[in-house]
Structure 1
């Protein structure tokens, strides 16, 4: 068996364990740490150490072994937590991530960094608990030298390991603190059994071991819990191959007693376990948790049996095939509709059933790619913690809607823009504690990350209760930068100025962020995902930045529109309403620009046939249909010939299959087999403006915002 086949599984599970470790570290209350959280952090480190040892990742194994020993002192109360100690733990976790990435890429981890983190952990142990961790890796390093002696070498390593971890005579400590456990290995191969026994040696003293491949029992005197034992097994044996039960502490050596308590009567073993603990009340309490985990292997096994790891490529392939099925179903549906209903009742019923089943199949397959926003939000407690400490601010992070689901491809792409927005809010949105107190605000600022569904979109908001945006300052900076602005601009338009390239109102450049610097990249990335950004701000009360994204980029609900003989698709999420423009609501402006008045709002008119050079379209404005759409936070009136209907379409990437086309975001295949282009609202408006400017070369480029207001004020 090639053990490298299991590398990917180890890397994925180790990443999940490290993510859980970071979450628990960030949630720890240093004044009163939760024992369960400390145990969870310890188990994560121990599990990674076990897997690293199995696959021969020595540096990762040694680092986690040191870290695990320090965590063990912490959960025993021998190391008192402080914020700086938690920071050191987080730094160690980052180092483990780097080492994991190195092994994933087939490289060796940075030796200097490894030595540096070892020195840091050693120094921390010396200062806080009065003893170093030098002895902890020793058993693992000496094992290869004594491996030739077989079983005898394991006994020697075991005898040396116990004093290092327990610091006293093995048997009394184990009996006083934790009693003994019987670990039964069922159907485990000889090689795996040897690895498991070696791991158990690190957790305590092996009293005796016996059995065969069908059932091999190890009696372990240990302070570890059954959960710790199970964590050791996870990378080598299946849950159903391991049984962990309390054992009687009275017998000491013979092999016969090992089988007796286990095979004869488990209840008797439970009753006899507390017997040697007369000097302390702790063993009965520790006995109860040990008895409870006996049911855990079954529950873990059942949980694992209901889930499966599948590569994203395979899921994408299934989604593509379902997309093709939807297209085929649309073609059949159109063909059947042309036959008429007379004499084709059974065929129509069958097509209706096929359509319903295809829709259910598509929704089920799409749900596979949907993952909760907690995948994104879980990264920000660390960002807020470190950034606020660097800025000297007190900031509380609140997350809402973590269970809201989004397509996996989008969650990965939204992380960077969201990180930039969060850092901007921390740096320039929320005021320093003294300034907040002077304004009558709490010293601790609040940053809220929220996510929720709205129609076919997901709304992600970054909300701070800071100073808010300063309209006058933004306008002054815009004029200084040469941007075309006016005092009559709406607040929404002023707020959008921060997305102008290179625009910043920061008084000083910091290494954290500068509001506006890089914000144009944020906006561009979000637009690349088919979304847009909205900003709401009140001076002195705070700012809300809202990101609107489609739930998925694979399939969308679209409105089919006709221009000349061409059919185009408008994403239904961008369509607000449609109407037939009246002559009195259309206004000509300087040049050949036209605006449409809709309920006291003047909207730029974009004639689709002019922007995309479509022949045979209606040119009389009052004979067209105006579809009111929204893109990049602005509204436009698109002039089309007809509205064909609404249809769910499979999105095909045009840039991958052809090239980037201005005003077009993607393409799809209709029921008749023809290709229809999906319109990009904001891109279509920019294309229309470019063509209008090209038709009047002698004029300087006009700003439609200024023209819009002049015309609007004069009416």
Structure 2
């Protein structure tokens, strides 16, 4: 009976991720005397090692065994908890993660960090062994004086539950693990039922095992810990086998090695059906303790595409079940109305359709809630990141996390991780000053970085703030002038100056480090946030600190949109981008160089962009005066979209245009309306870029024509 272990691999990977996260957070907070934390860290490492052994991930098992040994010394009080060892264990967590990732795709991990950290672990454990050498030396001498060393003989009865293999556990891995402890002899027996009652997916074998090894009972039980709830295990200590250290003449007269007791396997009476894949190794050849001579037992696990998974609370599942039940009831009612329908049933039909609409909306909201995860999944990486950066920069930095239970769509969370990492790295490297500088400025030596998340309307807001030196406004503006990004003498608001930080290649760092300062990354941060339909805002006060505020939609699957008509086409404008809609007044319209039309909206001159021109459409109205303007904003820049008509507001399901057709400038996606027609969703940041480019082209054409006339 062959079991496909690959079906259990996703569960192991998910549990391993959780275990590694637990180890990392526990190690960062670990203090001497914290027995509960060190035990939790040890259990996490032990579970990862056991799971890896089940799948035959030998690299993971061997490396984690070293980690487990070091943790075991800490929890037993044989080793003090010191910062140096914690740093080695943190590096080990990274290595285990690398090894698991390599095993997942069936590759051998060649990363140099593995070998380096393995050496550190071995050196640390060797130092521990040498510190106990003196105390062990006398005991060793006394043992020699009495003429020999001893090994214990153990009788082990292993009776697994019939369903054991269905949970991904194969007894052969357990038997091989026993062989690593010492010499084993094995006898396998069957308890097969009648042939017509035989289930090929169940296990009907039991094992009698003799183990000769210098181990205690706990070490044996540890091997079976992974299946302790799915088997009957009896372990009996039989005797002590003396290996006498005699004089040469005594050796010459006696056998040099006593034969290991063998237990011959009893014949198995069974139907002619092969169950060989789950049987034990042949008992006639005792297993050796030399791993080099023993073939490694490794499960055949085929790498499959990672579809991802979400853990969903039972309350959310119950809500879905209830809503589906309501839908079934409504569908039955409408089906009944459809039979022999007449005008007297119109009122009931309308009521049923209204109920169907309500049920569908609630079902949609419930399904969306399933995709929502606490943002702590994204925030959990930052304590370790800040810890490592603090060591690298020599700065004292405290990380405060708030709002970690704020929920965000899984897809958005996966894509926002890297931009947040870059912002936190910048906060440590650029934001927080060195300790002596902070003290000189009347601040505590330890700086503080705060991560916060909260809901605001239909968005989630993530704030990364620090109490560092703030952004030097003049330095940013001067650098922008030096690089030709802005013209000398131009007047900019603080917000506009700070937005210059996101220009490609822009950096005010006086010294480039391996953390930041090369002028790459911040433009990518902004671009990635915009790709998610979000925006970023910067606030800073020199000497007091800075705040980077990221606004993101809760989900990428659905958006609230305003339907507009341009010619014979319907477009969707995201409501989050709309400032206001208005009818243009003639006295507020100005035409400047190059036929660029501006609309005076209170304190702002807003460029007017006729959508029909942008997409080459026929339009009912081509005159700006009296037209409908939808004023939208992105990145602090406003533009008025000239449309023919405003239609309804509604939630729309976003469909990827790139996946189904190709990328189109100014369009972020498409949706299907209630009448079955397709409407394009306007990409507001993209269309503003197009508008500004259009305006620059108009100005260039105007200046060229003026120059030619002058000549």
TM-score (norm 1): 0.71
Contact residue 122 and residue 132 of structure 1 kept, 8 A:
no
Take 1:113 and 1:514, find their aligned partners in 2: how far apart are those partners? 26
Query: CA deviation digits over 1:445-472, x for unaligned, max 9?
Result: 1111111122221111111111111111
| Equivalent position of 2:640 in the other structure | 637
Contact residue 596 and residue 698 of structure 2 kept, 8 A:
no
| Equivalent position of 1:592 in the other structure | 595
Q: Give the alignment of 1:403-482 within 5 angstroms.
A: 403-482=405-484
| Equivalent position of 2:389 in the other structure | 387
* Distance change in 2, residues 1:527/1:475 (3 Å): same
Q: Give the deviation of 1:50 after TM superposition.
A: 1.2
Q: Secondary structure at the match of 1:623?
A: coil
Q: Give the deviation of 1:2 after TM superposition.
A: 3.2
Contact residue 589 and residue 625 of structure 2 kept, 8 A:
no
Contact residue 594 and residue 701 of structure 2 kept, 8 A:
no
Take 1:117 and 1:85, find their aligned partners in 2: how far apart are those partners? 11
| Equivalent position of 2:537 in the other structure | 534
- Gaps of at least 5 residues in structure 2 are 134-148, 192-203, 210-214, 240-305, 312-319, 705-711
Tell me the number of residue pairs that the alignment of Structure 1 and Structure 2 aligns: 574
| Equivalent position of 1:523 in the other structure | 526
* Distance change in 2, residues 1:454/1:651 (3 Å): same
* Distance change in 2, residues 1:439/1:189 (3 Å): closer
* Distance change in 2, residues 1:521/1:398 (3 Å): same
TM-score (norm 2): 0.72
Matched, 1:9 2:4: no
Q: Give the alignment of 1:285-324 within 5 angstroms.
A: 311-312=307-308
* Distance change in 2, residues 1:186/1:313 (3 Å): closer
The higher-RCO structure (CA 8 Å, 6+ apart) is 2
Contact residue 609 and residue 617 of structure 1 kept, 8 A:
no
Take 1:610 and 1:344, find their aligned partners in 2: how far apart are those partners? 46
Query: CA deviation digits over 1:150-175, x for unaligned, max 9?
Result: xxxxxxxxxxxxxxxxxx9999xxxx
Query: CA deviation digits over 1:546-591, x for unaligned, max 9?
Result: 1111111111111111222221101112223222233333333333
Q: Give the deviation of 1:111 after TM superposition.
A: 8.8
Q: Secondary structure at the match of 1:359?
A: helix
Q: Give the deviation of 1:494 after TM superposition.
A: 0.5
Contact residue 667 and residue 676 of structure 1 kept, 8 A:
yes
Q: Give the deviation of 1:188 after TM superposition.
A: 5.7
| Equivalent position of 1:148 in the other structure | none
Find the partner of 2:570 among 567, 571, 579. Answer: 567
* Distance change in 2, residues 1:559/1:342 (3 Å): farther
Contact residue 49 and residue 65 of structure 1 kept, 8 A:
yes
Q: Give the deviation of 1:517 after TM superposition.
A: 2.7
Take 2:508 and 2:391, find their aligned partners in 1: how far apart are those partners? 23
* Distance change in 2, residues 1:538/1:104 (3 Å): same
Take 1:618 and 1:392, find their aligned partners in 2: how far apart are those partners? 64
Q: Give the alignment of 1:154-165 within 5 angstroms.
A: none
Contact residue 531 and residue 632 of structure 1 kept, 8 A:
no
Contact residue 88 and residue 117 of structure 2 kept, 8 A:
no
Q: Give the deviation of 1:397 after TM superposition.
A: 0.7
Q: Secondary structure at the match of 1:587?
A: strand
| Equivalent position of 2:230 in the other structure | 241
* Distance change in 2, residues 1:517/1:195 (3 Å): closer
Take 2:122 and 2:420, find their aligned partners in 1: how far apart are those partners? 37
| Equivalent position of 1:368 in the other structure | 370
Q: Give the deviation of 1:511 after TM superposition.
A: 0.9
| Equivalent position of 1:163 in the other structure | none
Query: CA deviation digits over 1:150-207, x for unaligned, max 9?
Result: xxxxxxxxxxxxxxxxxx9999xxxxxxxxxx99965465984575587799999x9x
Which is further off, 79-88 or 493-502?
Answer: 79-88
* Distance change in 2, residues 1:34/1:72 (3 Å): same
Contact residue 556 and residue 571 of structure 1 kept, 8 A:
yes
Q: Give the alignment of 1:192-231 within 5 angstroms.
A: 192=170, 195=173
Q: Secondary structure at the match of 2:508?
A: coil
Take 1:469 and 1:640, find their aligned partners in 2: how far apart are those partners? 41
Matched, 1:351 2:340: no
Find the partner of 2:546 among 540, 543, 548. Answer: 543
Contact residue 579 and residue 631 of structure 2 kept, 8 A:
yes
Q: Secondary structure at the match of 2:71?
A: helix
Contact residue 460 and residue 547 of structure 1 kept, 8 A:
yes
Contact residue 372 and residue 404 of structure 1 kept, 8 A:
yes
| Equivalent position of 2:121 in the other structure | 121
| Equivalent position of 1:621 in the other structure | 624
RMSD: 4.2
Contact residue 498 and residue 504 of structure 1 kept, 8 A:
yes
Q: Give the deviation of 1:384 after TM superposition.
A: 0.7
* Distance change in 2, residues 1:114/1:601 (3 Å): closer
Matched, 1:34 2:37: no
Structure with the higher fraction of residues in helix conformation:
1
Take 1:252 and 1:79, find their aligned partners in 2: how far apart are those partners? 31
Take 1:373 and 1:641, find their aligned partners in 2: how far apart are those partners? 41
Take 2:408 and 2:587, find their aligned partners in 1: how far apart are those partners? 44
| Equivalent position of 1:291 in the other structure | none
Take 1:129 and 1:373, find their aligned partners in 2: how far apart are those partners? 44
Take 1:107 and 1:127, find their aligned partners in 2: how far apart are those partners? 33
